[in-house]
Structures are given as structure tokens and as C-alpha cells.
Amino acid sequence: MDIRQQIENGQAVLGIEFGSTRIKAVLIDGKGEPIASGSHEWENRLENGIWTYSQDDIWGGLRSCYSDLVKDVKEKYGVAITDLKAIGFSAMMHGYLAFDKDERLLVPFRTWRNTITEDASEKLTELFHFHIPQRWSIAHLYQALLNGEEHVPSVAFFTTLAGYAHWKLSGQKVIGVGDASGMFPIDSEICDYDAAMLDLFDEAAAKYQVPWKIRDLLPKCLNAGEDAGTLTAEGAALLDESGMLRPGAKMCPPEGDAGTGMAATNSVAKRTGNVSAGTSIFSMIVLDKALKELYPEIDMVTTPDGAPVAMVHCNNGTSDLNAWVGLFGEFAEAAGFPMDPGALYGTLYKKALEGDADCGGLLTYGFFSGEHNVGMEEGRPLVVRKPENHFTLANFMRSNLLTSFGVLGIGNEILRKEDVKIDRITGHGGLFKTPVVGQKLLAACMDAPVSVMETAGEGGAWGIALLAAYMTDKAEGQSLADFLENNIFEGNTGVSISPDPEDVEGFKTFLARYKAALPVERAAIDALR
């Protein structure tokens, strides 16, 4: 009854995240607990060499997701959603959505998955003396400039997917500092774009006689907890095609999936970290001291409240693994024993724990797309083995799981060399839905205890809902870390699994093989054009 009254009184908070394969909505109560959810499955497409989602995909998917949430609320509580206390939007970080002065999209959305900006990435990294990954928004803009693309002089505004959704629902061209840190380097002292680097970029762009300055194109950078506008009537109509939702809900700064993952795992304090494992995989470690050197494998981003974070980002996570699970599902159905997805994944994942620690010599590369950290501009999923290797279902599944952590393992070798201190790592995302398996293998990769919370499956949609709740419910002067620790998690660190020494050594052996055989992946890319 209390939850029902909160919904009827417009006191529930909504978080929506555009993930790589699913748009998810989570509604939370006054304690931050999820009380309803909705989702919509979608997938990016490779069109004219660009990984993209169309505007119809974005808005149709958003309405479908919200409609599914409304249905869940109706079934559980017998009420409709007419008002909301607050709303937050999150999405896959990075990418490039560029608009002209009439707010028209100039080119199809270029997602984080594209590895087409190598030249810009290298030039900007040299210019800034700061690593600029290929997927960052500024790399996409600069590459378009280098390419002489005709749309560049017409750019009046560019943003991320979360920033785009927020703009259209609130009218505000703003972005959370965490998501902004995937657009352009951030000065953590002021929680805003680095002024010196903005000037350097303008000097470099001036050679191409563009009619704009970079400061005029970027969305305004906001810190966690700041007011980012309210839901407009036009925004309410975009979100809820039934017309039941009224405007007026407060909106928090839009964030990237990295920042919402930190919020959802209580990992915004120094020396905490999390690993998000899904279509892409990345680790986020909040630093207590700066890294000694610049590393192309390490991205420097921020928490939603501006603290520096070392990010190891891998474009390829579980896409190829999911494809193999789907193939086994087809076989089970053809054999007359169809399995629901949960049972299918559970059976195959658990089988991996029966495999040899080093996968019996098997090697797989799950590269659906390019992987910049190992110099691959495109992807070719591969299975490689010697005739004498121990080729079993257990080793095959273990290899497919461990390869999801391959590039992550390379990046975290660097952090260990830098003596980065980590007090707690929390895993979240689809890979951890099957208990124990992903958690145990990630602990081997990180060589550190890994916790998973009951809310791990809620992911970034819950995380952005918590950031929206922080905006409306925080005490005067209360930090985000304190709000999460004391108002939401209350000391709950989830179920922890420590690394098994045999698993750790097995992963090291697997990773050495993985790095040594990268020329095989290179050859596959070159041969299969």
C-alpha cells in the first residue's frame, strides 16, 4: 500500500538506461529500492561501415520500454503513473550525435563501437598529452574534420545518447560530468572541461577554417546532484504515448553507463572499483593518486561527482559468447529438448567451472567489432586450437568466458604495475546473472575479491535512478559517496568470492596465449575483407 501511494502521489523516481542490447527502465521508492521495471530489446546495425541506431530505434525503443514499465506497475499495484518525482537518463558512453542550428541530426549516430578514428585519436593524444580513445566524442568530431566531411561546418551542438534523450525531454543541453568525461577531458578540480585543452583544440581546428569554437558545441557540464531541468510537456509526450504522464518531474544530469555502474555498485569512493560485463566490458577504479605515466590502454574519466577514474574499456564482451549459447540452444530445440534462456545459460556457464584452469589450451577471440587496445580496427570472432588440446564442452565454454576478460586483463596488468590500490571490486551486468561463474572467473582475472549484489541485474537503470534520488533527497552538503553508503546500501557489500590461486595461474597462462596469438586475429581481419 505504501508503494502504491508513493506512485499515486508522484513520489517514485524513474531511471532509464539505453544499453547496447536493451533499453531498461527501473522505478524506485523513497528508500531507493526497485519497485517496478520495463525493458525493450534492440541491437545496433552496421550500415555503410558505421555501427549505429536510428532515431526511430531510439524513440520507438524508449516508448516501448516505458510502456512495459507502466504495464508492470499496473499489474503489481493496480495504478497508473501520472507524475514522477524525478527522472534520470543514462546510456552507452561516448559516440557522436551532431546537430545543426535547426536541431537536425547531421549524420547517423556513431556509437562507441566504431573504431574509425585512429588518426584523430593519435593526433589529439599527442596534442593534449592525454590519452583520447577512439570512441570519445571529440575523436569523432576531429576525425570528421580531418576527413573533410561536409557536415562539420554545420555542427552547432554534439552530445552523447544520454545527453540527446535528456535534451529532448527537458529542453536542456546539459550532461553529467561522468558522461562528459567520455566526450572531452575533464579538469577534476573544477568538474568541467579542461580549459587549456579546449584552447588547444580550437587552435588545431582553426587550420580547417571551421566557423565554430569547441566550447559552443559541447553540452554544459553538471555535477551529480545539480538541477538539470524538468520534464516538459513535449518530453512527456515523447516518453509516454498514452498521454497519462504529466510534465514537471525534476531531471538529474544525464550520465553514461560507466557512471551509473559506479552508483549501482556503490563504487564512487576512492580505492573502490567495479566491472561492468555485457556487450562491452570495462573496469572502473577510483584513484587515490594519479598514474605515473600515460597509457593508451587506460582511459582517464570521472565519477558522477568528478573524481578521477582509471577505466579499462573493451569494445567486445559477451556478443560472441551469446552467439555460441544461441547455437547450443538451436541444437537443444532441434534435438527435441528446448530450453528457456535462463536454464540454457546456467547449464553452459556452470559447465565452464568443470574445465581446466587454462581452458585445456583452447583459445577464442570474441571480436565482433574492432578492439583498439590491441590494435584491431575490425573484428573476426575466432576459435583456435591445436589438435592435441583438450577440446571439451567445459573448456570451450571456459575459453569463451575468459576471452571476455582478455583485453580487460591486459589493461589491469598495467594498473597492478602502477601499484593502484583497490579495497573493493563489485561486478554487475548480464554476465553475473548466473550465480558464481562470472564472479569466480573475474576474480581470477583481477586477482582480487569480487562482490556481486542482489541488485547486480538492475544495472545502470537503477544507478541513474539513484543519481536522480540523490539530486532530490540528499542532505545539505552530503556527498554522493556518503549518500550511497548510508542512505542506500547501509554497509551492504554483497556476496564476495576471493580468487582461487589455481584459477589465477590458469588465467595468466590463458592470457599469455591470448596475447601471443593476436597475430592470428590480425591475419583473419586482413584475409576476410
Average pLDDT, the chain: 94
Residue 1's pLDDT is what? 67
- Domain presence at residue 150: yes
Element (H, E) at 285: strand 281-286
pTM of the model: 0.84
- Domain presence at residue 281: yes
- Domain presence at residue 261: no
387 and 413 together in one domain = no
- Domain containing 453 equals 266-315+409-498
Query: What CATH number should be reported for the domain holding residue 214?
Result: 3.30.420.40
Q: Give residue-wise pLDDT tens across range 197-217.
A: 999 999 999 999 999 999 999
How many folded domains does the chain comprise?
Answer: 3
234 and 270 together in one domain = no
148 and 12 together in one domain = yes
305 and 177 together in one domain = no
- Domain presence at residue 231: yes
75 and 150 together in one domain = yes
Rounded mean pLDDT of 233-247?
97
Q: Tell me how far apart the alpha carbons of residues 9 and 15 are, in angstroms, rounded to a whole number.
A: 18
Among 19-33, 177-191, 276-290, the range scoring the smallest mean pLDDT is 276-290
- Domain presence at residue 111: yes
Helix-then-strand count for the chain, H and E:
19, 25
Residue 456 scores a pLDDT above 60: no
213 and 360 together in one domain = no
Which of 233, 255, 277 is a domain's end point? 255
Q: Tell me how far apart the alpha carbons of residues 279 and 429 are, in angstroms, rounded to a whole number.
A: 9
- Domain presence at residue 260: no
Rounded mean pLDDT of 243-267?
94
- Domain presence at residue 276: yes
- Domain presence at residue 197: yes
477 and 523 together in one domain = no
Q: Which residues have C-beta within 8 Å of that of residue 162, sequence separation ≥ 6?
A: 18, 89, 90, 91, 175, 176, 179, 254, 255, 256
Q: Give residue-wise pLDDT tens across range 386-413.
A: 999 999 999 999 999 999 999 999 998 9
Contact assessment for residue 316 and residue 382, using Cβ atoms and an 8 Å cutoff: no
486 and 506 together in one domain = no
159 and 51 together in one domain = yes
454 and 359 together in one domain = no
Q: Determine the straight-line distance between the first and last CA of the chain, rounded to whole angstroms.
A: 60
Rounded mean pLDDT of 33-51?
94
332 and 205 together in one domain = no
153 and 200 together in one domain = yes
Q: Tell me how far apart the alpha carbons of residues 262 and 479 are, in angstroms, rounded to a whole number.
A: 14
